[in-house]
Structure formats: structure tokens, C-alpha cells
A and B are shown apart, each in its own frame.
Chain A
Amino acid sequence: MDEMNLDRALRETLQDCTNDLKAPDRLKTRVDFAMQNNTTAPRRKMCSWKRTAITVCAVLAVAVTGVFAATSMAGIYSHSWSNQKMSYAETASKAGVQLPEMFSNGFVFQSGYEVFSEARGDAGETESKWTDINAVYEKNGVTLSLETGVPQDALIGGTVKQSREVDGVKVSYTDDNYLSVPPDYELTEAQKEAESSGDIVVSVGSDQVEMNFFQFVSWEQDGKRHSLYGYDTGLTADELMDMAAEMIGA
């Protein structure tokens, strides 16, 4: 086949492949959601658990498409690839710590993935970048994430509701009620009041209105930052901190 015929055949093939491809309507919703979060008034630092909760919210918001999720809030930009599934060995190796394959309360390792984050300044410039390793555990349909990374200046502690010390390591616990709403949703007066008083945290970008209870345990050990968190886990603060203690003592 000569060059001209090959060029023609290539153009026709690529055109024919895509003739029926149209950008789905939900793509605009996803773009708007991500852009809306990007234009949120920037703060240099962000509470680590709130950033985690928001990132998880964003992942949940697009989970129906089984795809990459990105969000940027208050200067922290995070994304992960939901089709990346690492084995236990690979996850533990990348995390660089001894991860339990199973916690004594029955939560079993399912898969791992990387979370890529960067802190951006007011002008959108990158100030720092880091990668966390997220291990997903499951028991009876309840999912917990165990995130491991290096402590970051861009992330500050946030409110602590309970704490305990384990082998000289301080374990902190907090929780919050998250109201996830679609981008065009208008909050009721009661919801606005609850948000103002701090009773709920509103996360924009889900397909439907949903209230979730988010729990977050964090600690630092041997130069690593760890957080164990989940939505609607049905676990108590003590049970979650017991799991942290189990890992600290491993």
C-alpha cells in the first residue's frame, strides 16, 4: 500500500471508529464539579481529615462511572486511578510499613492504590507534591481505607474529638456528618443552619442527596503519617482506635 492510500485508510478508520462517540452528558457535570472545587477560595493549609473526606466524597461522586476522580479544595489537589488495584505485597512495599493483611476484628485487605496530591498556591502554582498509599479493607460490606504517607506541611491536624496514646504514639479521632449534594442542589434553610453551626459538612458533586457519617483516625509513627477512615462504618471511635493500636503494635 502506498503512502497516500495508507493516509486515507487511517483517516477513514479513525473517523469511522468515532462517528458514534458523543461526550456523555455526565461529563459536563463532572467538569463543573471539579472546576467548582478548583475555584473555591484557596487556603494554604487544609485540615488533613477534611481533605481526605472531600477527596473520598469526590471519588464516591463519580464512582458510578468507575473512573478517575479528581478534586481540588482549598489548595490541595488529589487524584487517584480507580482502575489501579495493587496486591497486598505491592501495597505494603510501596507504603514502606508493615500493613496487616487482616485486622483482628475481621477487616481483610482487598486492594491498594496510590493517591497523588499536590498543594497549590494562590496563583495555582505547585508548592509541593506527594504520593500516599491507600489500602482498602472490608468486612461485611463495610469499607475502611488505611492511608500511609509522609507528613506534609500543607496538611494540618484539625479538630480532635478523642485521642489515646499507644506505645508513645498519639492516636487522634474525629468524625463528621457529610451531606453530599448534586452541583445544582439548593440547600434548605435547615441545612444551611446546620452547616453554619458545624453540624454538617456539605460536599457538592454527588448524583443524589445523601447523608454519610465520616470517621477518621490518624497518627504518625516512624516518620510516616497514617490515617484510617470510612463512611458509615458502624464502628465506634474506640474500635477504630483499637485498629490503629493494632497496627502501631505490629
Chain B
Amino acid sequence: MTDEELVRRWQQGDRQAFDALYERFKDDAFRTACLITGNRADGEDLAQEAFVQCALHIGSLKDGSKFRPWLMRLLSRSAWKYCKKRRREQPVCELFETGEGESALTAVLRTEEQRRLYEALYVLDEKRRTVIVLYYFDELSVREIAQAVGATEGTVKSRLFSARRHLRQALTEKGLKPKEASLHG
């Protein structure tokens, strides 16, 4: 059954349609939330919040085929608010199961390049990190990201540009200093 059909059924009160949509997108939502926040506990909170927001506002979704970007929009709004509230450094390895710091990171990310990119990602401020995750992981367009984070397309492009510049620098320089990096852009 298509997303559109499931959304239509859900709007008509079919709870099983919601369950089906949840099963379809739960991992996407959880992974995106984890990437933005940098850890699983917060990712779980935000995924929950996003699905609850979906339930509250499902009646306002006119095009059911756009359910996924709509879910991501609700998720990223919640995530962004949360990051703004939280304002603390994200531990590098909280995403990884073993919790053994560098060894876990090394096991999951195979190359030095990937590890440096990952670390640099969490030096970015949340605005730029959110844009990077939505663009490269969720493959949203600049327009969709702009709608998601409540910014203009120009602002999203600017954030993408400065984030890329920072990440490229992280790959070419040694001893990246977090404060310097977060000032870019």
C-alpha cells in the first residue's frame, strides 16, 4: 500500500494505517534524530516527538505521498529546538553500541577519512549539522530542507557551503580546533 493510501486511511481514523507508516519510517526517523543530536537517547525522544506530532497534525497533510518529508520536517524542527536548548558538546561515540570510545568508532567507520569526517560533523553547530544530515542522509532537496528548518533556500545553501568548507578542512588539516571550526560561515 502506498504512503498516500495509508495517510488517507489514517486521516479517516484507521489506526492500523498509522502502525504501518510507523513501521515503514521508524528507523529512518530514529537514525536521522540520532545523527542530528549525536546520541541514541535523545534520538529516541525526538523520534517519539515526531510521530506524536504527526498524529496531532495528520489532518493537515494534504498530499499523503509527501509523508516522509513531512515527518522529517517535524522531526528536524523538534531536533533543532532541542539542540538549541541543550547547547552542549556531543560526545563523539554515543551513537555506537559498545560505548568503548575510539575502538567502537574505529570498528564502525572503516577509514581515517570517515572518522575525521564524523568527528568534524559534531564540531559543527546544530544548524549546519542538521542541514548536512537532511541533505546527505535523508536526501532532502534544498527547498525541502528550507521548509523543514524554517529558513530561506539561500540560508540553507549558505549553511551547506560553510559546513562543507569546514568538513573539507577537517580532512586536510590536523588538530582541528572546535571553536575555530564552529565559527566558520
Binding site for B on A (CB under 8 A): 1, 3, 6-7, 9-24, 27-28, 30-31, 34-35, 38-39, 65-68, 70, 81, 83-84, 124
Q: Is the CB of A21 within 8 A of B48?
A: no
Q: Assuming the A-B contacts A17-B108, A38-B56, are A67 and B136 also in contact, with contact meaning beta carbons closer than 8 angstroms in the complex?
A: no
Indicate whether A20 sits within 8 Å of B108 (C-beta atoms), given known contacts A9-B113, A67-B41. Answer: yes
Docked CA distance A31–B48 (Å): 5
B117 touching A9 by the CB < 8 A rule? yes
Q: Are B52 and A31 in contact (CB under 8 A)?
A: yes
Query: Which B80-114 residues have a C-beta within 8 angstroms of A?
Result: 82, 85-86, 95, 97, 108-110, 113-114
Partner of A13, one of B42, B46, B114: B114
Chain B residue contacts of A17, Cβ below 8 A:
35, 95, 108-109, 118
B168 beta carbon closer than 8 Å to chain A: yes
In the complex, chain B residues whose CB is within 8 Å of the CB of A84 = 85
Among A3, A35, A65, the most chain B Cβ lie within 10 Å of the Cβ of: A35
Question: Contact at B137–A67, with CB atoms within 8 Å?
Answer: no
Distance (Å) between the CB of A8 and the closest chain B CB? 10
Nearest 5 A/B pairs, CB to CB: A68-B45, A23-B30, A23-B26, A18-B31, A14-B137
Q: Decide if B176 is an interface residue (CB 8 Å cutoff).
A: no
Cβ of B75 under 8 Å from chain A? no
Interface residues of B in 105-133 (CB under 8 A from A): 108-110, 113-114, 117-118, 121, 132-133
**Which of the listed residues A10, A65, A124 has the most CB atoms from chain B within 10 Å of its own CB?**
A10
Q: Contact at B44–A24, with CB atoms within 8 Å?
A: yes
CB of A75, distance to nearest CB on chain B (Å): 12
Which of A13, A18, A24: most chain B CB closer than 10 A?
Answer: A13
**Chain A residues with CB under 8 A of B52:** 31, 34-35, 38, 70
A27 vs B117: C-alpha distance when bound (angstroms): 29
Q: Which among A10, A19, A39, A67 is the interface contact of B44 at CB below 8 angstroms?
A: A67
